[in-house]
Structure 1
C-alpha cells in the first residue's frame, strides 16, 4: 500500500465533503474510506438518475453538462440498440494549470471508484475504463485501490494517455481507448451513442463521480444543505499563479472568490484567469465581486470551467504570458480543420506582433471572428475566448506594447505551460549591432517576430522562437546580408 501523497497543498474553506478524512488519515485506503463514507449501496437506474437530478449534479470537467441527462442518454441508447454500455472515468486532466482530479485519484481513489461503480451498476455496464495521464502522479494510488477491491466483478482497465491538452476531450479519449489516434474525431460524435468499441459510453471526469458517491453516501437533503440553490454542494478549485499558498481547495458554491484568494495568499494582481486556458480573464474589480459557481462567474464575465483560478501577479508581462500560452495551444491542436491549422497559429503570430508593437489587437479579433463556430472541436473557440478576454482585461498592457515599446516587465512564466513550443523551440534571436546595416530583409522574411523601428533597424521581442517558426527564423538568419542576425540559446 502506498503512503505517497501528491506534492500539492490541500485545504477546505468550509465543511469537507470530497476531502473528508484526508486531514485525519492522509490518503484514504479502503478501510478509511468505509469509516468516513460507509459502504456504498447499489442504486437502480431510476433512483440514481433521480439522485443526480435532486442534487443538480453537473459535470466538473469544464462544460457542466447535467449528469442525470448524460446517464439517461446512455441508458436509452443501450436499451434502444440492445447493447451493453461502458463507463469511463476521465482523470486525464490535460489542463496544465489543474490538478484537482489527480489529487482525488491520489488521496481518495475509492471515492472516485465508488461513484463510477454506482453508475456502472445502474447501467449494467460491461466494463469500466479509468483513463489517467502518463505522468505517474496518481497511477500508483489508483492501482493500489483496485488491488484492495479485488472483489469487483466488473472488468476494469486503467489506461495511461499522453499528457496533452486535448487528451481529456471526450471524443479524443474514446478514440484513444479504441486504439486510434488520440485526437478529437473531427466531427460531432456522442459517446452516449457510439463510444468505446462502438458501445453507448458514459464519460465523466473524476470529480463528477466523486460528487456522485458523496451524494449517495449522505443523501440529497444533506448534500443540498451546502452551496447555492441552483448549484448545491462543494467544488474543487486549483489555485496557482500569484498565490503564496497554491494548491487544491474545496469550498461550497456561493463562496466569494476573494475569500478563496485570501486563504491562498493570492492578490488579484493584474487580473484573474478563471476556468483555465479555455476560460476567461476577469479584472481585479470583478474578482472582488465574484461568487464561486458557474452562474456567479458568468455574472462577472468569468468561467468556472474545470475550477482553475490563476491570479496574475504585477511583476510579469501579462500580454507575454498570454502569447506564451497561445503558442502552446496552437501546437497542441489536432490540426484537423482550418481554425486549428491556420487560425490558431495566426493568433499566436499576431500576439507576437502586438508584443513587438507592430500589430493592432483588431487583427486578432478579426481572426477569432472568422474562426468562431467553425472548428472540428471546441479547441479554437475556447482558445479564442482566452485570448479575447485577455485583450480586454489587459488593455493597458496592450497599449504599452503598441505605443511605448513594451511594458517594461519580463515574462516570468507564471502560467504553466509544459513543453511549450516557445520553451522547446529553436532558441532566441539576437542582433550583432556592430554588423547590422539595416537592410530590413529579416523583417520581410519573419514579420511574425521582427519589425523595423523608426530608423529601419530590426526590433525583436524577448523570448524563444516558437518551434512552428523555426524554419523561417533560420531562413532569416541565413539570408541576412550582413550576417548580423543570430539564433542561439535563450539568454545568450
Structure 2
C-alpha cells in the first residue's frame, strides 16, 4: 500500500526572508533551486569561521542558547590535544510537539542546513557529518536525497531516531548515533570533550538544524549584513513555530526583537488567556505581557520567559487551562527516561497533583504538593528535562492563578478541555483502576511506587495513570498481584 505524501510545514515571514528565502515559490529547494536562491558560499578557514560566529553572536537555536563559537573552540581544543579529528552533528530530532521549525528546514531547505555543517566540517577538518532526524518525519527522505546531490568535505550519514521528547537532548542523540538506547546519559558528559560524551569517543560539535542554517546565512552576508535586522545584542532573524487551534502550525521567520503581538496578528491569533513561548520546556506569559514581549532571549528573560525552541502556543478562552496543562504534564512525565529521582518520582507526582486539581477534586494542599515536587526537580536531573518541565508548569500555575483558585474552591471553571496544547497520539500504556473492585489493600503502591500513590484512606488517588516504557514492568506486577483484580494495563498504541 502506497504511503500518503508527508505534509510539509507552511512558512510565512515578517520582513526579510533569509532562512525561508525561496520557499514562497518552491515546496522544497533541491540543489538546483537552492543555488538559484542563495549565492555561492565561499569556503572559510578555522579562525575565520570562529571569528564570524563570534561577530554575529551565533547561539544555539535548540533551546539552551549556548554560544556556538565557545562550543566550537572547546571541540577544537580537544581535537588538538588528542589528535582525533572532530565529528559534526546536526540535531534534527525535534521531539517537541509544539515545534516544527527544524523539521521544516530539513524537509524544505535541507541544503541551507548542510551548507552550515559542511562549512564547519571543511574548516575544522571533521572526519564525518552526522544528521539526526525523526523516524517517519520528512527529514528521513529529504536529507539523504540532499546529501546525494552535493559534494561533501567528508563522509556524511543520516541517523533516524524515535520521535520522543528526549530524543533531541544532545546526550540522547549521541547515544543513538553510537548505537546505544536513545536516552540521556546517566552521567553528564560534554560532547566537545570526546571520550564518553562524543560520537565514537571523538570530539563532537553538535548544534540543531536552525543553528547550522544560521551559520550558512551569516557566512554569505558577513557580520554587517547579518546585523542589518534584529537587535544589536541578538542580530539576525529567528524561526518560530506558531501553533493554531484546529489548524496546522506555521513556521514564521521574524527579525529578532520583533513584538510577539505582531506575530500573532500576522497569524490571525489573539493572546487569549495566556501564551506559552519556548515549547514545553518554555514558560507562560500573561496576555498583557505577551503582546509587547520582544522575541529575543534577553527580552523574554526580562519577563520571566524564555525563547527556548521558538514554539508559540496561545490558549483560547473556551478551554480549561488547568485541564490543558495537566494533559501536557502527564505526557512530559511519561516521556522521561526514568533515570534519576526527578523523572522517576518528581514529575509523575506533579502530574498527578495537577490532574487532581484539574478534576476539581483536590485537597487544599495539592498546589503546594505540585510546587514542592517541581521545585525539587529543578537542577537536580541527569539532563534538562526535569528543569524545563518544572519551568513550564510552575509558570502555568502563576499565570492561571485565578483558575487554580476556582478549582480549589469549587467545581472548577466549568470549561471542557479542547486539546489546544498540541500533543502527539498516545504512545504510552495506561494503568487503569476500577474503584468498584478496589478494596484498599495498598499492594499496588508497594509494587509500583513510582506509579501508584494512595490517598488518606488507602485507595489509589487516580483511576488512570500514564505508564512510561521504563515503568511497564512494575505496572504488570501491580496488575498481576492485585488481590481484588481491580487493575488493568492498557497497551501502548
After superposition, the C-alpha distances for 1:82-117 in whole angstroms (9 at most, x for unaligned) are 111100000111111111001001111110010000
Contact 1:272 1:310 in 2 (8 A): yes
Rounded Cα–Cα distance in structure 2 between residues aligned with 1:56 and 1:176: 30
Contact 2:430 2:467 in 1 (8 A): yes
Q: TM-score, normalised by structure 1?
A: 0.88
* Aligned pairs (5 A) from 1:177-326: 177-194=177-194, 195-242=198-245, 246-326=249-329
Contact 1:445 1:475 in 2 (8 A): no
Cα drift, residue 8 of structure 1: 2.6
Cα drift, residue 451 of structure 1: 7.3
Q: Secondary structure at the match of 1:334?
A: coil
Q: Secondary structure at the match of 1:113?
A: helix
Which blocks of at least 5 consecutive residues in structure 1 are unaligned?
Answer: none
Contact 2:13 2:252 in 1 (8 A): yes
Q: Secondary structure at the match of 1:289?
A: coil
Contact 1:280 1:301 in 2 (8 A): yes
Cα drift, residue 62 of structure 1: 0.5
Contact 1:30 1:148 in 2 (8 A): yes
* Aligned pairs (5 A) from 1:13-52: 13-52=14-53
Do structure 1's residue 425 and structure 2's residue 430 form an aligned pair? yes
Rounded Cα–Cα distance in structure 2 between residues aligned with 1:277 and 1:353: 20
Cα drift, residue 344 of structure 1: 1.3
Contact 1:94 1:167 in 2 (8 A): yes
Change (3 A) 1:28 1:332: same
Cα drift, residue 6 of structure 1: 3.6
After superposition, the C-alpha distances for 1:454-483 in whole angstroms (9 at most, x for unaligned) are xx9x9998x954236977996999749xxx
Do structure 1's residue 378 and structure 2's residue 384 form an aligned pair? yes
Cα drift, residue 25 of structure 1: 2.9
Q: Secondary structure at the match of 1:311?
A: strand
Contact 1:357 1:405 in 2 (8 A): no
Which blocks of at least 5 consecutive residues in structure 2 are unaligned?
Answer: 446-450
Cα drift, residue 285 of structure 1: 0.9
Partner of 1:409: 415
Contact 1:5 1:106 in 2 (8 A): no
Change (3 A) 1:363 1:177: same
* Aligned pairs (5 A) from 1:71-90: 71-90=72-91
Q: Secondary structure at the match of 1:321?
A: helix
Q: Secondary structure at the match of 2:163?
A: coil
Partner of 2:160: 160
After superposition, the C-alpha distances for 1:184-211 in whole angstroms (9 at most, x for unaligned) are 1122211011110111000000000000
Contact 2:186 2:339 in 1 (8 A): yes
Contact 2:284 2:392 in 1 (8 A): yes
Change (3 A) 1:335 1:443: closer
Partner of 2:374: 368
Contact 2:273 2:317 in 1 (8 A): yes
Rounded Cα–Cα distance in structure 2 between residues aligned with 1:217 and 1:24: 21
Contact 1:176 1:182 in 2 (8 A): yes
Cα drift, residue 5 of structure 1: 7.2
Q: TM-score, normalised by structure 2?
A: 0.88
Change (3 A) 1:398 1:83: same
Cα drift, residue 425 of structure 1: 2.3
Change (3 A) 1:130 1:140: same
Contact 2:430 2:489 in 1 (8 A): no
Q: Secondary structure at the match of 1:267?
A: coil
Q: Secondary structure at the match of 2:275?
A: strand
Q: Secondary structure at the match of 1:23?
A: coil
Cα drift, residue 369 of structure 1: 2.5
Higher mean alpha-carbon deviation, 194-203 vs 261-270, is at 261-270
Cα drift, residue 245 of structure 1: 7.1
Rounded Cα–Cα distance in structure 1 between residues aligned with 2:80 and 2:319: 55
Higher mean alpha-carbon deviation, 136-145 vs 273-282, is at 136-145
Change (3 A) 1:269 1:448: farther
The CA RMSD over aligned residues, in Å, is 3.0
Rounded Cα–Cα distance in structure 2 between residues aligned with 1:389 and 1:337: 23
Change (3 A) 1:408 1:213: same
Cα drift, residue 44 of structure 1: 0.3
Partner of 1:335: 338
Change (3 A) 1:88 1:486: closer
Partner of 2:448: none
After superposition, the C-alpha distances for 1:267-286 in whole angstroms (9 at most, x for unaligned) are 11121111111111111111
Rounded Cα–Cα distance in structure 2 between residues aligned with 1:90 and 1:252: 23
Contact 1:431 1:486 in 2 (8 A): no
